[in-house]
Structure 1
Amino acid sequence: MSTGENDTIADETVEPPVENSSTNRKQPFPQGFLDTISTGWAERPDTLPAPRAQATYAERRRAAVSAAFPGKRLVIPAGSLKQRSNDTDYVFRAHSAFAHLTGWGSDAEPDSVLVFEPTHDGHDVTLYFRERADRTTTEFYADATVGEFWIGPRPSLAGVAADLQVATAHLHEFAAVDGELVLEEDESLTRFVSELRLIKDDFEIGEMRRAVEITARGFDDIIRELPAAVAHARGERVVEGVFHRRAREDGNGEGYDTIAASGPHACYLHWTRNDGTVVPGDLILVDAGVEADSLYTADITRTLPVSGTFTDVQRRVYETVREAADAAFAAAKVGVRFRDVHAAAMAVIAERTAEWGLLPVSAEEALDADKGGQHRRYMVHGTSHHLGIDVHDCAQARREMYYDGILTPGMVFTIEPGLYFQIDDLTVPAELRGIGVRIEDDILMTEDGPVNLSADIPRTADEVEAWMARLQR
């Protein structure tokens, strides 16, 4: 942030700052400024917005929470700004449960609190947040954290009430009742709101589709800019930056740190340093997802041959991963256990790695639940996770509702098998070392079976090569 000489909270006093004090960056305001800063401003328009599309859905979610906790007072905080360094903060992102129950997305206000007050027939629900400050207050010009002179206009209570269709009140009113805003997490509430997101409503599904569509454009951008990545000493950063531009232009940003892992880096599952070269002849694994302004995110992985074509060995590994992904997709049916999707993918991984002579046991032995697992050396992660307003959504759900849960229409989850042969793994032939492949798609379960929301992003080796050739003409 750079706003000239005075870019921190300013004192109202005309006295100079105390030498060697912790406030030595605060600059005094002259009396003329103090006498005139509150005058000469146009009236703010008071037109109320129409309710946003998500408001009706959020109201239904709140009703479900209210019904599940009769007579209990519930407090769901948005969270606060988190310090990055000294007087700079990370970009604010509201807690997922708060965003889900209010409908507030990327425009949510820090320190807001959603409160369910029990009544004889349910709950009165109020959203407390810091109301915009009158321009006669010092906060307007002197507080760099919340002052509108610094961060721009803040929403009004009436405007948010109309927008989100929920009662609003100033945060001070909540603080006056509750004292300090220190809230203990309620395990049962946390679990319930997490499990509430297991089944997506129509609004959520629409946002997921939109996030996937933008992400697809981001992958197109990456392919077009691969020559620039090859030419740069830190080409992985070029790939990351290209995707970031699309995510910020068409969405709120990325839903998680982009993985742009080229060559041997593709074997590190959460490689986010992205400081390596992009070398012709290698593969680059890109795991990236755009987060929409509603905070719903895609999560997609494609593995691309930097030169535009796969070598025979790379193609063999790639098509094996695709075979595993297709097997998992075929296993995803209404009424099937969620973990059976993973089992279908792992059966392929075990069969192929045994066939290639990489396992000390047979595929059948490797798949033994108690004594097996030898194939997991080359794919240690799970095949699927729920997806939505969190990239790993519904993570606080009970095991019997998540891993052992039953696939139900409205669920959205990933299918993302992989094979990773690390550069120094002596259990595999030299030709495999340094090859990492993952293919990840976002799946919507419907009454008629699974729908691949990201199916328009090329998946087969032949399709990927044709895709790259078309975009790099």
Structure 2
Amino acid sequence: MTETDLSAADPFRARRERFLDSIGKGVAVIAAAPELVKSRDTDVRYRQNSDFFYLTGFLEPGAVAVLTPFDPEHRFTLFVRPRDRERETWTGVRAGVEGALERFGADKAYPVEELDNHLRDLIEPADALWYALSADGSEMDAKLIRLLTGFRGTRHRTGKGPWDIRDPASVLDRMRVIKEPGELERIREAAALSARGHLAAMRAGRAGVGEWELEALLDGTFRAASADSGTAYPSIVGSGANATVLHYVTNERRIGEGDLVLMDAGADAGFYCGDITRVFPASGRFTAPQRRVYDIVHAALDAGIAAARPGAPITGIHEAARAVLVQGMIDLGLLEGTVDDLIESEAFKRFFMHNTAHYLGLDVHDAGPYRERDGTPVPLQPGMVLTVEPGLYIPADAEDVAEELRGIGIRLEDNVIITGDGCEVITRGVPVAADEVEAVCGGDRE
């Protein structure tokens, strides 16, 4: 079976093999995401760690994968929660050791309670331990650090034990940044579902409607599509000046007369994310000042998309959109000077303070490097998936700005797949041109 055939038949196994080939004589330990408590005895809805899912397809908590390239019997070992009739009555059926072997392709599987009995023997022959230390020092961090410290004390006598610890992200991020055909299919599904939610909310949004009501409509549309769909991240619905807050998620205001409404929301379809931002007028028609700002951001979006082509530096997307936005700031009277001078001084950051593109995939801000080790920007390659999202945010209290422009916040965001000769925009299931937006949230929504 060729690598292409294997990827189609069992993408998780194919990824493991590529990863194992990349870590030489190392051993990788990758833990499932922990369960999180919402309050008292209520948990947050569980979502698997993206790297763990990418390599195993295993969705349950409390699991650990050990990948050992030089030991055929333990090449892929899973430690999982055992079957437990009493616990399964409360929380659902577990795969157990048998399922780990039969359904998830493990070479060996053990109850997770036996991890300490096997971990030292699995790690000892390796020259390096591949493990992602957590930000807050997990129990697994402490366990592995104790093992490494122990090897340091015995290595001079036994000659065994890893010398160092390496981050699996140095391999996995570069694997994940180029999407497989099956992944692209799921991302297109997520983009189409994201667009469906935005259309529904744009048609429902008008003065008097609560931001939270549009949030509920977005999230409900995403979740209702299938058993494995939902929200990719907390939906942003900002009306009026709330749209100038980049990550506004309280969504607690009623939409006012004449407001613009910014919605940044995306669906998750089978673990893959969409990420769309649209802005629409609650009245159904943009005012002249709103339209001026909107058209500038739309032109910046088009410029960023035009820069998304294979071989071009990833930073070119931001640079192309930024140039249009800065010229627009000059035209609106927000800034004085030349485009080059305002970019060099970073004066534009008062009204546009974020980057224009990020990777998209299993995570909404997906894995992947933006610069090479020498500091040069990563070149775009076919199979990369990115967002393009320029914006202009004019604070409501900006007293040196024309009053008619104050409190206008506009961000427009599409998702693109880099192809062999350019890019494919996959989020135009919801319109972005101002006239088409007015058609949806004006007459058509009736």
TM-score (norm 2): 0.84
Q: Name the SS for the 2:24 alignment partner.
A: coil
Match of 2:129 in 1: none
Alpha-carbon offset, residue 196 of structure 1:
1.4
Alpha-carbon offset, residue 158 of structure 1:
3.4
Count of matched residue positions in the alignment of Structure 1 and Structure 2: 399
Alpha-carbon offset, residue 160 of structure 1:
4.5
Match of 2:92 in 1: 152
Aligned ranges 1:2-21 → 2 under 5 Å: none
Who wins on radius of gyration, i.e. which is larger?
A: 1
Name the aligned partner's letter for residue 385 of structure 1: H
CA–CA distance in structure 2, aligned partners of residues 121 and 159 of structure 1: 20
CA–CA distance in structure 1, aligned partners of residues 282 and 101 of structure 2: 51
More deviation, 307-316/114-123: 114-123
Q: Name the SS for the 1:231 alignment partner.
A: coil
Contact conserved, 1:338 with 1:403, CA < 8 A, in 2?
A: no
Contact conserved, 1:175 with 1:181, CA < 8 A, in 2?
A: no
Match of 1:100 in 2: 54
Alpha-carbon offset, residue 216 of structure 1:
1.3
Match of 1:381 in 2: 354
Match of 1:301 in 2: 277
Contact conserved, 2:283 with 2:442, CA < 8 A, in 1?
A: no
1:246 is aligned, of 205, 214, 221, to 221
Give the helix-richer structure, 1 or 2.
2
Name the aligned partner's letter for residue 114 of structure 1: A
Match of 1:3 in 2: none
Aligned ranges 1:165-180 → 2 under 5 Å: 165-167=105-107, 168-178=109-119
TM-score (norm 1): 0.79
Match of 1:23 in 2: none
Match of 1:19 in 2: none
Match of 1:8 in 2: none
Contact conserved, 2:301 with 2:321, CA < 8 A, in 1?
A: yes
What per-residue deviation string (whole Å, max 9, x for no partner) do you get for residues 440-469 of structure 1? Answer: 000100102111010221010001111223
Is 1:130 aligned to residue 81 of structure 2?
yes
Alpha-carbon offset, residue 214 of structure 1:
1.0
CA–CA distance in structure 2, aligned partners of residues 121 and 367 of structure 1: 56
CA–CA distance in structure 2, aligned partners of residues 300 and 381 of structure 1: 16
CA–CA distance in structure 1, aligned partners of residues 73 and 381 of structure 2: 29
1:73 is aligned, of 7, 15, 27, to 27
CA–CA distance in structure 1, aligned partners of residues 191 and 376 of structure 2: 24
The alignment-based identity, stated in percent, is 35
CA–CA distance in structure 1, aligned partners of residues 81 and 376 of structure 2: 40
Is 1:390 aligned to residue 331 of structure 2?
no
**Structure 1 residues 398 and 356: CA distance shift in structure 2, 3 A:** closer
Contact conserved, 1:321 with 1:437, CA < 8 A, in 2?
A: yes
What per-residue deviation string (whole Å, max 9, x for no partner) do you get for residues 7-42 of structure 1? Answer: xxxxxxxxxxxxxxxxxxxxxxxxxxxxxxxxxxxx
Aligned ranges 1:323-402 → 2 under 5 Å: 323-368=299-344, 372-394=345-367, 397=369, 399-400=371-372
**Structure 1 residues 379 and 398: CA distance shift in structure 2, 3 A:** closer
Contact conserved, 1:66 with 1:123, CA < 8 A, in 2?
A: no
Alpha-carbon offset, residue 472 of structure 1:
1.5
Name the aligned partner's letter for residue 98 of structure 2: A
CA–CA distance in structure 1, aligned partners of residues 433 and 166 of structure 2: 43
CA–CA distance in structure 2, aligned partners of residues 161 and 309 of structure 1: 59
Q: Name the SS for the 2:397 alignment partner.
A: coil
Match of 2:175 in 1: 196
Match of 1:453 in 2: 426
Contact conserved, 1:443 with 1:450, CA < 8 A, in 2?
A: yes
Is 1:208 aligned to residue 187 of structure 2?
yes
Root-mean-square deviation (CA, aligned residues, Å) is 2.3
Contact conserved, 1:55 with 1:165, CA < 8 A, in 2?
A: no
Name the aligned partner's letter for residue 117 of structure 2: A
Alpha-carbon offset, residue 398 of structure 1:
6.4
Match of 1:256 in 2: 233
CA–CA distance in structure 1, aligned partners of residues 392 and 351 of structure 2: 5
Is 1:422 aligned to residue 395 of structure 2?
yes
What per-residue deviation string (whole Å, max 9, x for no partner) do you get for residues 203-231 of structure 1? Answer: 1101100101111111122123325xx43
CA–CA distance in structure 1, aligned partners of residues 223 and 64 of structure 2: 27
What per-residue deviation string (whole Å, max 9, x for no partner) do you get for residues 123-179 of structure 1? Answer: 61122211221x3xxxx1xxxxxx122122223443454443344433233243239
Is 1:404 aligned to residue 386 of structure 2?
no
**Structure 1 residues 128 and 471: CA distance shift in structure 2, 3 A:** farther
Alpha-carbon offset, residue 471 of structure 1:
4.4
Contact conserved, 1:260 with 1:284, CA < 8 A, in 2?
A: yes
Alpha-carbon offset, residue 320 of structure 1:
0.6
**Structure 1 unmatched ranges of 5 or more:** 1-51, 141-146
More deviation, 452-461/352-361: 352-361
Contact conserved, 1:67 with 1:122, CA < 8 A, in 2?
A: no
More deviation, 438-447/182-191: 182-191
Contact conserved, 2:7 with 2:13, CA < 8 A, in 1?
A: no
